[in-house]
Amino acid sequence: MKIGFIGLGHMGLPMASNLLRSGNAVHVFDTSSQAIGLAVERGAIATGSIADLAAAVDVVITMLPNPAIVRSVVAGPDGVLAHAKDGTLIIECSTSDPQTARDLESMAQSSGKAMIDAPVSGGVPGAEAGTLTFMVGGTEEAFVAARPILMAMGKNIVNCGPAGSGQAAKICNNLLLGVSTIAVSESMCLGVSLGLAPDVLAAIINTSSGRCWVSEVYNPYPGVVKSAPASNDFSGGFACDLMIKDLSLALDAASGTRQPLPMTALSKQLFQLLSLKGEGSKDITAIVQMFKM
């Protein structure tokens, strides 16, 4: 299978590496030549443009920062749809928004291609280990065609419904991640201010009703989880600026259904304060610094 991979960042590079490991020819493109170089070192084939990549492959995977970039890469004049062969399957894995996913799928169908939205959960560790969860929106036929490819990069492949449903599921999950990161930060800092040792408090929370993924696997308090970004100067992981984007996507989508999201709105404001302090590229758990004495 000839696969094209566009967007070789924190997530895209390890995902493309897993496709290579399972024996696929992977053609790659990124606006960063350094990112292309890293993929080529792992066995990928460099391409000079999105047009060249799209013309050479049967499947195109995108893993890009935001919906505006996704729209231009997929549907722009020099984009995937303009140059891909008929029957090409496009698997859009970026966190985007339901409307962008629906618009692009409909454009893909009218030009003889198939497209699914397939955003992921599991972060960089999940991308490296090939254990991502894929939340898929699209036709049953496209889901079935994409499944074996997604299985090379993930463990749980969930059909969420028609186009846009994967993105809807993803933004619901990520608003919970954003809110719970702040809630765990508050709780840990209160405990420490009251004289509790952070590892003792985390152990109590993780066997009590406050337990959640952030408290257990991704604890924001430095030193509690050795493998978490908080114990590595908040580097790697999931950037604060990407979380601001995801919370904005949730708030925008909610305005269409008049759904109130007060915790999401407040969380977005707090992450924006962190970004304003110059920490936007740090992991989301850097928010703990705003509560830590």
Q: Which residues would be at the binding site for ligand NAD (CB under 6 A)?
A: 6-12, 29-32, 35, 63-65, 69, 73, 94-95, 120, 123-124, 237-238, 242
170 is catalytic: yes
CB neighbour class for 209 (10 Å; exposed up to 12, middle 13-18, buried from 19)? exposed
Measured from the CB of residue 145, what is the shortest distance to ligand NAD in angstroms?
Answer: 22
Active-site annotation holder among 170, 245, 268, 282: 170
29/63 Cα distance (integer angstroms): 11
Nearer to ligand NAD by Cβ, of 53 and 205: the residue is 53
Q: How many angstroms separate the Cα of 224 from the Cα of each of 83, 181, 231, 242?
A: 49, 14, 7, 24
Write down the least CB distance from residue 123 to ligand NAD, Å. 4
What is the smallest separation between the CB atom of 33 and ligand NAD, expressed in angstroms?
10
Closer CB to ligand NAD, residue 156 or residue 210? 156
Cα-based distances in Å from 185 to 62, 182, 195: 33, 5, 16
Minimum distance from residue 161 beta carbon to ligand NAD (Å): 20
CA–CA gap between residue 107 and residue 105 (Å, rounded)? 5
Taking alpha carbons only, the member of 244, 120, 129 closest to residue 181 is: 244
Identify which of residues 36 and 114 has a Cβ nearer to ligand NAD in the complex: 36
Q: Over the Cα atoms of the chain, what is R_g? A: 20
Which residue of this chain has its Cβ atom nearest to ligand NAD in the complex? 9
Residues with a known catalytic role? 170
